């Protein structure tokens, strides 16, 4: 049987670092953000639906999606953000399921889902792993590494679930406020635990 793990964390938490380390250990990682980019590439039905909803101003001259412009539009307006999610999320879920179905029996499948908490998806997984950092560290990382203004960073953070809500659904929490060496140690322990749960079989993921 496949062990299904949901991996999530707030923007700037370093979730991608955890995801890469789990992939290196042997996990089958399904990256929702990467799939979200694929399903709105030029020529896709997803991109056509976005243009129909938001207009041609969200396109670059080469016909690809102007992500910064679309982000400016939707992150300030929950209703518009909901419309975008209504287009993209079903496409992402369908593709994620295809990739999971293709995994070998006995695989540990880690679905990297930024909006797992917001979309109430915890029940779909045997275990939810939350990558956590204090909000001040999120803010610093977004300003430093993603070249956002502090106001932009705060708006992106405010558009996601609050920290307490993410922690409430966590089966395991990875504290990524320290060094990369400390992160390596925690991910190593996480992988050992995931292998243990996978070997124990169905029904052991939740709360074991």
The stretch 100-129 carries a mean pLDDT of: 92
CATH topology of domain 33-105: Rossmann fold (3.40.50)
The pLDDT value recorded for residue 203 is 57
Q: Please provide residue 60's backbone torsions phi and psi, each rounded to the nearest 5 degrees.
A: -85, 165
179-200 exposure pattern, b = at least 16 Cβ within 10 A, e = fewer: eeeebeebbeebbeebeebbee
Q: Give me the mean pLDDT over the 104-132 stretch.
A: 92
Q: Within 10 Å of residue 170's Cβ, how many Cβ atoms?
A: 19
User: What DSSP assignment string belongs to 142-200?
Assistant: HHHHS---HHHHHHHHHTSPPHHHHHHT-SEEEE-SS-HHHHHHHHHHHHHHHHHHHHH
- Identify the pLDDT of residue 64: 96
Instruction: Check: CB of residue 132 under 8 Å from CB of residue 160.
Output: no
- Tokens 């700037």 appear where? 12
Q: 2 is written with which tokens?
A: 């496949």
Q: What is the pLDDT of residue 207?
A: 47
Give the model's pLDDT for residue 128.
97
Lowest mean pLDDT of 37-41, 122-126, 140-144, 195-199, name the range: 140-144
Long-range own/partner contacts, residues 37-45 (CB < 8 A, 24 or more apart): 38/95, 39/88, 39/91, 39/92, 39/95, 40/65, 40/88, 45/91
The SS3 of residue 197 is: helix
Three-class DSSP category at 204: coil
User: Lowest mean pLDDT: which of 20-29, 75-84, 143-152?
Assistant: 143-152
Residue 173 DSSP one-character state: E
Q: What is the number of residues in the chain?
A: 208
How large is the average pLDDT for residues 38-62? 96
- At 56 the pLDDT is 95
Quick check: 149 pLDDT over 50? yes
* Average of per-residue pLDDT across 127-154: 84
- State the span(s) of the chain assigned CATH 3.40.50.300: 1-27+107-202, 33-105
Is 120's pLDDT higher than 60?
A: yes
Give residues with Cβ within 8 angstroms of 60, minimum separation 6.
66
> Phi/psi at 112 (nearest 5 deg)?
-85, 100
Main-chain dihedrals φ then ψ at residue 180, nearest 5 degrees: -65, -30
Distances 138 to 2, 108, 150 between C-alpha atoms, Å: 32, 28, 10
Asked if CATH classification 3.40.50.720 holds for the domain at 1-27+107-202, the reply, yes or no, is no
């Amino acid at each position: 049987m496949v062990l299904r793990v949901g991996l999530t964390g707030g923007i700037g938490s370093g979730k991608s670092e955890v995801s890469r380390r789990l992939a290196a250990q042997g996990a089958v990682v399904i990256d929702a953000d990467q799939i979200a980019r694929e399903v709105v590439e030029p020529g896709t039905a997803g991109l056509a639906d976005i243009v129909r909803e938001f207009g041609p101003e969200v396109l670059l001259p080469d016909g690809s999606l102007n992500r910064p412009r679309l982000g400016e539009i939707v992150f300030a307006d929950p209703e518009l953000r909901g419309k975008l999610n209504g287009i993209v999320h079903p496409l992402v879920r369908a593709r994620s399921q295809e990739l999971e179905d293709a995994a070998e029996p006995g695989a540990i499948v880690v679905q990297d889902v930024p909006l797992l908490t917001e979309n109430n998806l915890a029940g779909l997984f045997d275990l939810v792993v939350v990558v956590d950092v204090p909000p001040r560290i999120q803010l610093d990382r977004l300003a430093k590494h993603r070249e956002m203004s502090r106001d932009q960073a705060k708006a992106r953070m405010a558009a996601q679930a609050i920290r307490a809500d993410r922690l409430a659904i966590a089966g395991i929490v990875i504290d990524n406020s320290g060094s990369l060496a400390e992160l390596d140690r925690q991910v190593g322990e996480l992988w050992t635990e995931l292998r243990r749960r996978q070997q124990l079989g169905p029904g052991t993921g939740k709360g074991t």
